[in-house]
């Protein structure tokens, strides 16, 4: 991880196909483009790869979540439940449609705790977003059962888990909509870009039209139909260059995942020598996309001591409890209600605060995160990096 490690002639050729047409826009200009529709082709290929009936390309993984929420009809005052360990984009999208993010604890999968999810559902809950963090699945079958029992739509935020499967079924295909990110540090990348997948044609149609200013896509996704509009939308379109790169990267995805699995196994073997270490629960190791290796020490103090040695020896790990992009207690802009809007929106409306978040609201997650360390797993692991990590971990094991 990430996919730019394997950029090569395939990506160049796909991009040159676009430059040869001179058309960067994914729609229209039929006479000029010689039937080259890279984004449309990418959507079709990604749907086939995941086993979904429909795919809708968008401009980012963040946009994918917002487009999914809009298609599900989520709006102002609604509550959407997600988890306390996720990238900020998940809840930014919830806020951006006017809804209120509600967070759950995580469990040893480092994803949503289904038992806490059940406790957070109210009559204001309109959707659930389960996030497959760090390349491995949440307890998605339990989460889906809870969503179905409460008649709630389920979005799978699969931004970090392209290529991940659970019992042979691709992540993103368990819920109503699956969303993906192809940004610069993802296993497959288009620089920026994202995708929504679904088996529901009506949801796909709504996403297709919403992401393109509400344009009528009644004819087909290669054109804009009759220019009628069922509702307002916004611009979250993917451009042809991104679609072209996506096609080349998708063709390499399974090989990249396989390489990551091999490299993860090497790193895991070295980590396993540390006394008292345990590993994150991976529900289906054979389907792991292996983008990260997360491991737990017996205490916060032991984790800090181990990571101190690792850092001193050039192989420092990520401590998610210190990470300001992915963990609830570090989201100072959420907790402080910080916004550029002078009237305080979306945290305030009509002069009143809509909700207040307690920084100490998730003690179980905090206790787990503060003793968890993590390595990002590369597609290509050089002998030099492998030896550096092995030596550092050997020294940490002597503590």
Write down the residue that tokens 């699945």 correspond to: 137
Which tokens go with 220? 């087909």
Helix, strand or coil, per DSSP, at residue 355? coil
Nearest-CA neighbor of 174 among 210, 129, 134?
A: 129
Least confident window among 29-38, 63-72, 260-269:
29-38
Active-site choice (66, 126, 186, 252): 186
The 10s digit of each residue's pLDDT in 66-118 is 999 999 999 999 999 999 999 999 999 999 999 999 999 999 999 999 999 99
Between CA 160 and CA 374 the distance in angstroms is: 14
Average pLDDT over residues 256-260: 97
186 labelled catalytic: yes
Grade residue 226 by pLDDT with cuts at 50, 70 and 90: low
Helix, strand or coil, per DSSP, at residue 196? strand
Indicate the burial class of 318 (C-beta count within 10 angstroms; 0-12, 13-18, 19 or more): middle
Between CA 378 and CA 291 the distance in angstroms is: 7
Nearest-CA neighbor of 302 among 280, 278, 328, 282?
A: 278
Helix, strand or coil, per DSSP, at residue 336? coil
Q: What per-residue confidence (pLDDT) applies to 228?
A: 79
Q: According to DSSP H, which parts of 133-289 are helical?
A: 140-149, 201-210, 240-271
Exposure string for 150-187, b = 16+ CB within 10 A, e = fewer: eebbbbbbbbbbbbbbbeebbbbbbbbbbbbbbbeebb
Q: What per-residue confidence (pLDDT) applies to 141?
A: 98
Q: What is the pTM of this model?
A: 0.96
Grade residue 1 by pLDDT with cuts at 50, 70 and 90: low
The answer to whether residue 220 scores a pLDDT higher than 60 is no
| Domain segments of the chain as ranges | 3-252, 254-325+363-396
| CATH code for the domain defined by 3-252 | 3.40.640.10
CATH entry, 254-325+363-396, from 3.90.1150.10, 3.40.50.1860, 3.90.1260.10, 3.10.20.90: 3.90.1150.10
The 10s digit of each residue's pLDDT in 45-76 is 999 999 999 999 999 999 999 999 999 999 99
- How big is the chain by its Cα radius of gyration, in Å? 22
The answer to whether residue 223 scores a pLDDT higher than 80 is no
Which tokens go with 350? 């009509």
The 10s digit of each residue's pLDDT in 265-311 is 999 999 999 999 999 999 999 999 999 999 999 999 999 999 999 99
Which tokens go with 68? 């999914």
Which tokens go with 16? 């040159």
The 10s digit of each residue's pLDDT in 125-151 is 999 999 999 999 999 999 999 999 999
């Amino acid at each position: 991880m990430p996919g730019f490690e394997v950029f090569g002639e395939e990506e160049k050729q796909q991009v040159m196909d676009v430059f040869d047409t001179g058309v960067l826009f994914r729609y229209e200009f039929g006479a000029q483009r010689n039937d080259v529709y890279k984004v449309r082709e990418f959507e079709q290929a990604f749907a086939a790869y995941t086993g979904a009936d429909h795919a809708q390309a968008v401009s980012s993984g963040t946009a994918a979540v917002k487009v999914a929420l809009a298609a599900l009809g989520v709006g102002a005052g609604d509550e959407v439940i997600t988890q306390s360990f996720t990238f900020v984009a998940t809840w930014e999208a919830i806020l951006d449609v006017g809804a209120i993010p509600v967070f759950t604890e995580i469990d040893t999968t480092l994803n949503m705790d289904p038992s806490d999810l059940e406790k957070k559902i109210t009559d204001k809950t309109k959707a659930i977003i389960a996030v497959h963090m760090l390349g491995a699945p949440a307890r998605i079958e339990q989460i889906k059962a809870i969503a179905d029992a409460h008649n709630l739509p389920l979005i799978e935020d699969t931004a970090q888990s392209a290529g991940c499967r659970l019992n042979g079924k691709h992540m993103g295909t368990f819920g109503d909509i699956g969303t993906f990110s192809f940004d610069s540090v993802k296993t497959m990348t288009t620089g920026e870009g994202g995708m929504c997948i679904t088996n529901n044609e009506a949801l796909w149609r709504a996403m297709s039209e919403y992401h393109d200013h509400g344009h009528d896509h009644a004819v087909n996704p290669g054109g804009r139909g009759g220019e009628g509009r069922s509702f307002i939308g916004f611009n979250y379109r993917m451009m042809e260059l991104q679609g072209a790169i996506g096609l080349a990267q998708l063709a390499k995805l399974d090989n990249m995942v396989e390489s990551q699995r091999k490299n993860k196994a090497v790193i895991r073997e070295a980590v396993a020598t540390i006394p008292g270490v345990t590993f994150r629960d991976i529900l289906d190791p054979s389907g792991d996309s292996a983008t990260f290796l997360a491991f737990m020490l017996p205490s916060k103090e032991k984790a800090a001591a181990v990571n101190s040695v690792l850092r001193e020896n050039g192989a420092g790990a990520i401590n998610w409890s210190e990470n300001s992009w992915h963990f609830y207690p570090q989201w100072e802009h959420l907790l402080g209600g910080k916004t550029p809007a002078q009237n305080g929106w979306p945290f305030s409306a009509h002069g009143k605060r809509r909700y207040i978040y307690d920084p100490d609201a998730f003690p179980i997650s905090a206790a787990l995160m503060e003793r968890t360390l993590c390595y990002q797993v590369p597609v290509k692991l050089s002998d030099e990096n492998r030896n550096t990590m092995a030596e550092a971990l050997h020294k940490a094991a002597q503590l």
